[in-house]
Chain A
């Protein structure tokens, strides 16, 4: 074992953070890029299901909240791409891999948001499940990822609370509104449980990820935690969770719950979910339609202040030709 490797292992062992310019095993670097990049993609694609409701929000208050929430998702994606780039990944390349289906995003976003109650349920259950995943990640051994997660977790709490408040409001409304909340809960409950990934005995990489300090709890532990958190929230809200086997187990001190349909999960991952094609096509069209803007801005920058070192004798003092020209015409 080389001294670099020993130092890496000791850093992990002492629960210290690995920082960008540290030596790290190639497999650690690749695993972190996969994890962070695909987390970023999930945030970016995650804008779409709820984003469709912005123009149809029931009030200005709800519209402002939803707009802020969707903007946060974009922000989370950006924090994460920033972290991925510290590992040698490149943002434009990651987007390219996303729109060509070579990297994935969380399957939960392949389900549509069919009513405004879905906006609430996504906040409550989907973001709630994300929080379960993300809080332990604030202690990820990779420094930039851990720091991005701290920022994200603070904002994610707003997402969950606005969702739950929206649902409480609907539950105080008409019978039809209460039915919408129940129906949205029925549709999102099982996909939310799938967010934690297949059972532990089918997750061969878990052990290595735990040893590296980039996974702090197993899939099943996190899923159980989420179920235990959600049950009293559902009761308080007045909705039932669509699982006949869901009940408190006194012996275990936890809830028992029914089996997740992993065939559905695999099918959605493989591209057969309700919205897979639409999600990627939408992201691709945004990228394609923005191409001329990116090119124009780059061309403008090349002609003006940001290219000073290519022009001898100019700098940030405003003596370069581009800056002078702008000054005269202003």
Chain B
């Protein structure tokens, strides 16, 4: 029996019998993937907002403008070829982040100072 999920977002879509594995032949012909970072306004850092495909970085910038700043969401855009990004695992239990896990003395709240000491 076919199950329809209402939460296919814009209306029910079938969830059974729908293939998901990419066809390598089709994938090869695609433009490369770029990740997009946006500075919302002056004074803020660039923040990752998503990705897009483009033939080259210049085209990626134009596409990023059209896609991610239709309502003045940004004053500056970075695009980076996804293949150039080196990432850690996001898993927070990852041993990669263990070195900072037990150093509570790096935080100001570690130190007890009497309440009557001013300006601290």
Contacts and interface: CB of A to CB of B under 8 A. Distances in A.
Given A22-B91, A42-B13, A133-B10, A198 B4 contact: yes
Interface stretch (B15-23, B98-106, B107-115): B15-23
Interface string A212-229: 001110110011000000
Interface size class of B (residues with CB under 8 A): 35 or more
Interface in A290-330: 294, 297-298, 300-301, 304-306
Interface in B32-77: 33, 50-53, 55-59, 66-67, 70-71
B90 A20 contact: yes
A35 B8 contact: yes
A37 B9 CA distance: 10
A22 B92 CA distance: 10
A38 B12 CA distance: 9
B55 A43 contact: no
Given A88-B22, A105-B13, A39 B56 contact: no
B3 A133 contact: no
A96 B51 CA distance: 19
A85 B51 contact: yes
A46 interface: yes
Contacts, number: 189
Given A21-B90, A195-B6, A195-B11, A148 B50 contact: yes
A72 interface: yes
A80 B51 CA distance: 10
Nearest to B4: A197
Chain A CB count within 10 A is highest, among B5, B90, B91, B93, for: B5
Q: Sort chain A's interface into a size bin.
A: 35 or more
Given A92-B29, A269-B14, A136 B7 contact: yes
A221 to B, nearest CB: 9
Contact of A102 (B12, B18, B29, B53): B18
A222 B6 contact: yes
Contact of A89 (B11, B20, B71): B20
Given A34-B13, A82-B50, A89-B22, 12 more contacts: A39-B8, A42-B8, A42-B9, A43-B9, A91-B30, A93-B23, A106-B13, A133-B9, A196-B6, A197-B4, A209-B5, A297-B56
Interface of A: 7, 19-23, 29-31, 33-35, 37-39, 41-43, 46, 68, 71-72, 75, 78-80, 82-83, 85-86, 88-93, 96-97, 102-109, 126, 129-130, 133-134, 136-137, 148-149, 152, 155, 194-198, 202-206, 209, 214-216, 218-219, 222-223, 265, 269, 294, 297-298, 300-301, 304-306
| Nearest 7 CB-CB pairings of A with B | A106-B11, A197-B12, A39-B9, A297-B55, A195-B11, A92-B30, A306-B56
Interface of B: 1, 3-16, 18-20, 22-23, 26-27, 29-31, 33, 50-53, 55-59, 66-67, 70-71, 87, 89-91, 93
